């Protein structure tokens, strides 16, 4: 009812036995035999004699607004809690695809040359190991692009684009472009971190350590047949080097180094990249997501052997 006093007036009085045929709220249509009448509802009169109109509340109350805002906040929190992990997994999957493609590029190089790319080839300009370019990145880029990335350079830093770029490994804001921040690294050394002349390497980047060979390079290259267990030999992966809880990122090497000095912020970035994991491609072509602790801290024979092409742990090579 509208108002304290409301009443209905019949348009035609004295009719009985009438039935409501249509209810329109403030008006009803009455059917009385063969005739129809309109029954109106009138609003009560106010002090001025005019009939008062009903007041309609169109605004929300403060309580209603607070409830709506609280519901929206809960829904937004639930949505973010679902989106963030999904985005991180998508980035890790994209990185794994990149690593897989780079790993297949290494396989193509090995199929064509029957050796693994040299990690570094400082004598490329003198005609030494021309198919290896200046380093393993250039050699692999030559395979992927079917060209000569050294002589036909089209970008100042091609290793910050496309499949060379991990979506979760962006360079820190403080790092200048000239530092050559890399997303992916090559298992060029195995467990050996010594660079003294004549130092033997058990990785895939050559038979010697950093330019420690007789000709001043890491050559000769490692032959395909020298890899004892391709399914257990790591080839490349996220560009990380470290050991004993310290990890440095942004490198073109994947290496275990227990003597790595502390570098502020790098370990935290490495841990956050793929939630304490790293994507790694093996010599047989498969890609695995390995725990950082397994890569850089575990000392079991199985954990150490996958760094070395002879499938032996060589614990004596760990830096103290």
* pTM for the model: 0.73
Model pLDDT, residue 23: 63
Model pLDDT, residue 220: 94
Model pLDDT, residue 153: 58
| Dihedral pair phi/psi, residue 310, rounded to 5° | -85, 5
Local structure of 210: helix, strand or coil: coil
Model pLDDT, residue 286: 96
With contact defined as beta carbons under 8 Å apart, do 219 and 208 qualify?
yes
Alpha helices in 18-135 (DSSP H): 62-113
Q: Could you tell me which of 185, 190, 186 has the C-alpha nearest to residue 307?
A: 190
| Cα-only R_g, the chain | 38
What are all long-range contacts of 111-117, with beta carbons under 8 Å and residues at least 24 apart? 112/143, 113/221, 114/223, 114/224, 115/220, 115/221, 115/222, 115/223, 115/224, 116/204, 116/205, 116/221, 116/222, 116/223, 116/224, 116/227, 116/235, 117/186, 117/204, 117/205, 117/221
Model pLDDT, residue 7: 35
Model pLDDT, residue 137: 92
State the Cα–Cα distance between residues 62 and 41, nearest whole angstrom: 34
Domain boundaries, the chain: 7-42, 95-317
Model pLDDT, residue 310: 96
What parts of the chain have a pLDDT lower than 50? 1-15
Q: Where are the beta strands (DSSP E) in the chain?
A: 7-10, 19-23, 27-32, 35-42, 184-186, 234-238, 240-243, 246-249, 255-256, 277-282, 287-291
Model pLDDT, residue 254: 96
Contacts of 120 (CB under 8 A, 6+ apart): 134, 135, 136, 188, 205, 206, 210, 211, 217, 218
State the Cα–Cα distance between residues 307 and 242, nearest whole angstrom: 13
Contacts of 14 (CB under 8 A, 6+ apart): none
State the Cα–Cα distance between residues 109 and 101, nearest whole angstrom: 12
State the Cα–Cα distance between residues 243 and 255, nearest whole angstrom: 9
Model pLDDT, residue 291: 97
Model pLDDT, residue 10: 41
Model pLDDT, residue 252: 94
């Amino acid at each position: 009812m509208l108002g304290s006093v409301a009443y209905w007036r019949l348009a035609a009085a004295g009719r009985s036995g009438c039935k409501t045929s249509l209810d329109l709220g403030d008006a009803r249509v009455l059917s009385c035999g063969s005739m129809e009448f309109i029954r109106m509802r009138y609003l009560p009169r106010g002090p001025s004699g005019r009939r008062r109109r009903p007041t309609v509340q169109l605004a929300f109350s403060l309580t209603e607004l607070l409830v709506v805002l609280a519901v929206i906040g809960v829904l937004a929190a639930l949505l973010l809690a679902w989106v963030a992990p999904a985005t991180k997994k998508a980035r890790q999957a994209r990185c794994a695809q990149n690593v897989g493609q780079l790993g297949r590029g290494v396989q193509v190089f090995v199929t064509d040359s029957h050796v693994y790319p040299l990690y570094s080839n400082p004598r490329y300009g003198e005609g030494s190991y021309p198919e290896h370019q200046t380093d393993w990145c250039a050699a692999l880029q030559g395979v992927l692009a079917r060209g000569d990335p050294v002589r036909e350079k089209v970008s100042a830093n091609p290793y910050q684009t496309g499949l060379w770029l991990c979506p979760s490994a962006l360079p820190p804001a403080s790092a200048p472009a000239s530092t050559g921040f890399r997303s992916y690294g090559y298992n060029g050394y195995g467990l050996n971190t010594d660079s003294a002349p004549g130092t033997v390497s058990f990785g895939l980047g050559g038979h010697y350590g950093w330019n420690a060979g007789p000709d001043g390079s890491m050559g000769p290259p490692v032959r395909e047949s020298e890899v004892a267990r391709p399914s257990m030999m790591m080839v490349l992966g996220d560009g990380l080097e470290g050991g004993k809880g310290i990890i440095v990122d942004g490198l073109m090497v994947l290496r275990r180094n227990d003597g790595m000095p502390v570098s502020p912020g790098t370990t935290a970035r490495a841990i956050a990249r793929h939630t304490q994991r790293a994507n790694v491609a093996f010599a047989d072509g498969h890609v695995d997501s390995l725990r950082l602790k397994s890569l850089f801290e575990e000392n079991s024979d199985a954990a150490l052997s996958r760094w070395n092409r002879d499938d032996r742990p060589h614990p004596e090579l760990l830096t103290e």
